[in-house]
């Protein structure tokens, strides 16, 4: 059996993040294809019990460093520890999530270990024992297939919500090994965390996104989209024009300089479909466009187009969805 | 305010370096070149990577507050000079270009090493740059450079404050945000959007002045680096092919002479029965 494949698991508030299940599942597929085992690395505070749950996804052994000083991610403390563990287990490949922290960690780790990194991969193949990865470039206007030069260890971050989650066995536990590496002194410090407790669906994991553009006319009109989104269990997004106008927070911007999203359904309301917007949502499974201008470029990308005044159409559509939801449940 | 923080809080002039990448205009339609592995660059308009433009803005605001100097650092062929002049016209003071045509094909770690060497020679208090470039979208150069410098880095900032001794940023994470702090020297990468940073335009007088600002074109050897180690293909990864996204089937306009309610009903039906999405 060859060297094992290693995944870096991500914890927040003592809980394993969902993205880590995806990465572990993907890691298991690769380990199987290479005929090797899957191991994991996890840093955090009070995580031993939860780390063992990685066994469900095929992880045999988890190396953990459990220390109150590691409760929150900080590149300066995490990177040296993880690099040490990886050097010791000398894996065939290392996978982690292309989450906000994951990408940051991967980048610095790559320099520290002198290994090649490809970020934000959407597909990983093993062909003739070689790993090849696909990643979007130009915010999804194009895709690049990458491979590693002979003898180089692949470091791969996986785009969230793309890799399939496989549960092998609900009660399979991974062996947990505590690694004794001291937490380094750092010049940077974690000050505070502020979590959104409104219960709103976040853009990055949303199955359905309702997005508004300049056609929404003013901030309070977004209440209409919030209502629709609530019914659909959707997140609310925005075009740059709507964000620049101050109608929506910048974190809601979808596009080349905003978030790249990949939902099942993307509903673009009063958005023209500029190339920079399309770059951020063009890979959605279904695109719905609601626009009063029949020549709006968004229609060329939309699976379902509605040429109507949004102020008339959105309330009517919301009503229909409400009816459907009440008959379904 | 305590005595110690009164002295610690005393503003110092700051030496800020902004790392700038030149990228294809975001308007560009992307085409695959004849080699199947790169982007066709004929007819492409080049711009400052938008996130690096945010970095120029952030640096200029720190300078306005503390005094000091903003230096632009970039790399690549002669065409990059135009993007550097844009940043100088916004108000940066001077610039260094690592003028090696092929440096981008030497691999990402190599490039980060070269940038770190150049930064060391400039001896700044703070380095600011975009958290990603809108072309290859790797989100890795900043942390890599910081690692080679042996400095802390704070990534993906949507706000940056500094008193000349330390830097504080806010960084969005999934479902919230965190506040991080570091003593200087440090490297910060910026996220956010145009709405957050609202980068200034280059004024006409700014453009005139930019032409006279110092722009040093340097070679790798000027930083004590061995050019042989930065040859094309020195990277650990390589692109084997590019692929365009699948063409979408032409969409369907939901109309058929229906009134608003009829269209709403039809869309709901399509999403429910055909797309099975709601
Ligand atoms: C460097 C750079 C980066 C950028 N990054 C992004 C990005 O990340 N995301 C992004 O979105 N954009 C981005 N842009 C901006 C982009 O070019 C467009 O300006 C922007 O997407 C337009 O937003 P919009 O479609 O909401 O507005 P508009 O283009 O003004 O379109 C508004 C639409 O609403 C329709 N409309 C108006 N009233 C109604 C009504 N009552 N009912 C129905 N329809 C109506 C109109 O017909 C029109 O089609 C970027 C631009 C640059 C230069």
> Residue A167's pLDDT is what?
76
Instruction: Please state, rounded to an integer, the average pLDDT across all residues of chain A.
Output: 95
Within a domain: A186: no
Residue A116 shares a structural domain with residue A253: no
Residues A155 and A273 in one domain: no
Domain extent for A40: 5-178
Q: Do A169 and A212 fall within a single domain?
A: no
Measured distance CA(B119)–CA(B121) in Å, rounded: 5
Q: From the CA of A209, how far away is ligand 1's center (Å)?
A: 16
CB B215 within 8 Å of CB A263 = no
Per the document, the length of chain A is 329
- Does a structural domain hold residue A200? no
A151 assigned to a ligand binding site:
no
Distance A219 CA to ligand 1 centre (A): 15
Residue A194 lies in a domain: no
Residue B277 structure tokens: 């999405």
Q: Which residue of B lies nearest to A233 if distances are taken between CA atoms?
A: B278
CATH number at residue A236: 3.40.50.1220
State the Cα–Cα distance between residues B278 and A327, nearest whole angstrom.
12
Q: What are phi and psi of A137, to 5 degrees?
A: -125, 165
Q: Give whole-number Cα distances, A81 to A44, A48, A64, A74, B206, in Å.
A: 12, 17, 10, 11, 47
Q: Is there a single domain that holds both residue A11 and residue A138?
A: yes
A199 falls within a domain:
no
CA distances from A185 to A75, A188, B76, B144, B183 (A): 12, 9, 37, 20, 13
Task: Tell me if A111 and B112 make a contact (CB, 8 A cut-off).
Answer: yes
Contact A110 B140 (CB under 8 A): yes
Q: Within this chain, do residues A18 and A145 fall inside the same structural domain, yes or no?
A: yes
Q: Are residues A147 and A239 in the same domain?
A: no
Q: Please, which residues 90-149 of chain B have a Cβ atom closer than 8 Å to chain A?
A: 107-109, 112, 134-144, 146-148
Could you say which of A178, A199, A226 is where a domain stops?
Answer: A178
| Co-location of A152 and A221 in the same domain | no
In this prediction, residue B250 has a pLDDT band, given cuts at 50, 70 and 90, of confident
Query: Over the stretch A134-193, which tens digit does the pLDDT of each residue have?
Result: 999 999 999 999 999 999 999 999 999 899 998 778 889 999 999 999 999 999 999 999
Q: Residue A144: closest CA among chain B residues belongs to which residue?
A: B242
Residue A197 lies in a domain: no
Please enumerate in sequence order all residues whose Cβ is within 8 A of that of A114, keeping only pairs 6 or more positions apart, or say none.
B109, B236
What digits encode the pLDDT tens for the residues A50-93? 999 999 999 999 999 999 999 999 999 999 999 999 999 999 99
Whether residue A238 is found in the same domain as residue A142: no
Could you tell me which residues come within 8 angstroms of residue A143 by beta carbon, excluding any fewer than 6 positions away? A122, A134, A135, A136, A137, B242, B243, B244, B245
In a shared domain, residues A213 and A254: yes
Q: Do A193 and B263 touch (CB under 8 A)?
A: no
pLDDT (0 to 100) of residue A35: 96
Calculate how far, in angstroms, residue A245's C-alpha sits from the geometric centre of ligand 1. Answer: 11
Residue range B203-248, pLDDT digits in tens: 999 999 999 999 999 999 999 999 999 999 899 999 999 999 988 8
Crossing angle of the two packed helices A310-328 and A222-232, in degrees rounded to 10: 20
Query: ipTM exceeding 0.90?
Result: yes
A17 and A134 both lie in a single domain? yes
> Is some CB atom of chain A closer than 8 A to the CB atom of B192?
yes
Task: Give me the number of domains chain A comprises.
Answer: 2
- Say which CATH number the domain at A141 has: 3.40.50.620
Same domain, A170 and A215: no
CB atoms within 10 A of CB B81: 18
| Span A230-246, pLDDT tens digits | 999 999 999 999 999 99
Q: How far away is chain A from the Cα of B97, in angstroms, using its nearest Cα?
A: 23
Q: How far apart are CA A65 and CA B116, in angstroms?
A: 30
> Among B14, B225, B193, B240, which Cα is nearest to B112's?
B225
Determine the residue of chain B that is closest to A285 in CA distance: B275
- A215 and A173 co-located in one domain: no
Question: Does the residue A144 lie in any domain?
Answer: yes
Inside any domain, residue A203: no
Task: Note whether A252 and A261 are within 8 A (CB).
Answer: no
User: Which residue, A178, A199, A218, sits at the end of a domain?
Assistant: A178
Q: Indicate yes or no: CB of B26 within 8 angstroms of CB of A202.
A: no
The answer to the question of residue A195 being in a domain is no
């Amino acid at each position: 059996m060859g060297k094992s494949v290693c995944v870096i698991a991500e914890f927040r508030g003592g809980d394993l993040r969902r993205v880590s299940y995806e990465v572990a599942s993907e890691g298991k597929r690769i380990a199987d294809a290479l005929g090797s085992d899957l191991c994991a690395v996890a840093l955090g505070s009070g995580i031993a019990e939860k780390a063992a749950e990685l066994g469900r996804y095929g992880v045999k052994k988890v190396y953990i460093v459990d220390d109150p000083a590691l409760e929150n991610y900080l590149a300066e403390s995490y990177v040296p520890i993880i690099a040490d563990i990886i050097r010791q287990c000398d894996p065939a490949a290392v996978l982690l999530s292309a989450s906000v922290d994951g990408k940051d960690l991967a980048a610095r780790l790559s320099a520290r270990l002198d290994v090649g990194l490809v970020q934000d991969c959407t597909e990983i193949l093993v062909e003739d024992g070689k790993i090849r990865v696909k990643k979007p470039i130009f915010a999804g206007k194009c895709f690049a297939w990458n491979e590693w030069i002979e003898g180089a260890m692949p470091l791969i971050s996986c785009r969230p919500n793309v890799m399939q989650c496989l549960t092998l066995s609900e009660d399979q536990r991974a062996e947990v090994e505590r690694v004794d590496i001291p937490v380094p002194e750092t010049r940077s410090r974690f000050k505070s965390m502020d979590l959104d407790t409104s219960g709103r669906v976040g853009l990055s994991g949303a199955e359905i996104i309702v997005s508004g553009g300049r056609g929404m006319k003013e901030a309070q009109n977004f209440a209409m989209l919030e209502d629709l989104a609530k019914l659909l269990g959707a997140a609310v997004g925005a075009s740059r024009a709507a964000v620049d106008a101050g109608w929506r927070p910048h974190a809601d911007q979808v596009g080349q300089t905003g978030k790249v999203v990949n939902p099942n359904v993307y509903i673009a309301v009063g958005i023209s479909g500029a190339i920079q917007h399309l770059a951020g949502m063009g890979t959605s499974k279904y695109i719905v466009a609601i626009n009063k201008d029949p020549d709006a470029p968004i229609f060329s990308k939309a699976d379902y187009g509605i040429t109507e005044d949004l102020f008339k159409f959105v309330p009517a559509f919301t009503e229909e969805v409400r009816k459907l939801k009440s008959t379904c449940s | 305010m305590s005595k110690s923080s009164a002295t610690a809080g005393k503003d110092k002039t700051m030496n800020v370096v902004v790392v700038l990448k030149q990228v294809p205009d975001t308007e560009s339609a992307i085409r695959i070149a004849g080699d199947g592995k790169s982007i066709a660059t004929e007819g492409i308009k080049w711009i400052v990577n938008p996130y690096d433009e945010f970095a120029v803005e952030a640096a200029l605001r720190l300078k306005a507050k503390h005094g000091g100097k903003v230096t632009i650092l970039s790399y690549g062929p002669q065409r990059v000079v135009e993007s550097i002049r844009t940043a100088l016209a916004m108000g940066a003071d001077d610039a260094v270009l690592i003028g090696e045509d092929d440096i981008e094909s030497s691999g990402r770690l190599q490039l980060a090493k070269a940038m770190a060497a150049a930064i060391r020679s400039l001896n700044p208090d703070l380095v600011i740059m975009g958290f990603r470039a809108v072309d290859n979208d790797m989100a890795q150069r900043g942390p890599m450079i910081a690692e080679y410098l042996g400095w802390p880095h704070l990534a993906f900032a949507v706000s940056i404050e500094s008193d000349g001794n330390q830097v504080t940023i806010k960084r969005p994470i999934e479902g919230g945000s965190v506040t991080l702090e570091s003593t200087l020297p440090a490297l910060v990468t910026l996220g956010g959007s145009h709405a957050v940073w609202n980068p200034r335009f280059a004024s006409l007088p700014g453009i005139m002045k930019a032409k006279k600002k110092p722009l040093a074109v340097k070679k790798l050897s000027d930083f004590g680096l061995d050019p042989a180690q930065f040859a094309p293909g020195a990277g650990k990864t390589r692109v084997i092919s590019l692929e365009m996204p699948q063409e979408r089937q032409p969409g369907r306009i939901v109309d058929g002479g229906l009134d608003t309610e009829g269209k709403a009903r039809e869309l709901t039906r399509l999403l429910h029965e055909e797309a099975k999405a709601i």
